[in-house]
Amino acid sequence: MKTIKCLLFLLLIINITSCAKEEYDFYATINGTVIDEISSEPVEGASVNLTPGGKNCITDIQGHFSFNELEAIQYTITVQKNGYSTNRKGINAIAGETSDISVTIEKMN
């Protein structure tokens, strides 16, 4: 009887430890594109600043930028480039999701 109890206890422990645990993604991602307001063309080399957090990046040839592993909060994206006016946009980052945003900037005369 003692052997059966030990065996059942051992099987219970094995069952508990072998169960798959759910993993949750606590981080968010923001992907975006910077577009020229008049021509609707992507803007390469624009500086993109994310606040809060102080992260910065530069847009690629297609005007794309990306911020990864962010807290799930509201952010402000500020886009600047020489010869263009600065533009700001707010976005909510949601845990486990990728948020997409398009920001236009206007060429100054």
Q: Is residue 64 in a domain?
A: yes
List C-alpha distances in Å: 61 to 11, 29, 38: 58, 20, 18
Res. 88: pLDDT tops 90: yes
Give the whole-angstrom CA distance, residue 104 versus residue 33. Answer: 8
Q: What are residue 98's DSSP bridge partners?
A: 29
Lowest mean pLDDT among 6-15, 31-40, 74-83, 94-103: 6-15
Q: What's the pLDDT at 53?
A: 87
Q: Is residue 44 in a domain?
A: yes
Q: Is residue 4 in a domain?
A: no
CATH of the domain at 63: 2.60.40.10
Q: Is residue 92 in a domain?
A: yes
Average pLDDT over residues 75-82: 97
**What is the residue range of 63's domain?**
23-105
Average pLDDT over residues 60-68: 97
Name residue, tokens 């030990």: 6
Q: Is residue 67 in a domain?
A: yes
| Mean pLDDT over the full length of the chain | 87
How many domains, in total, are found in the chain?
1
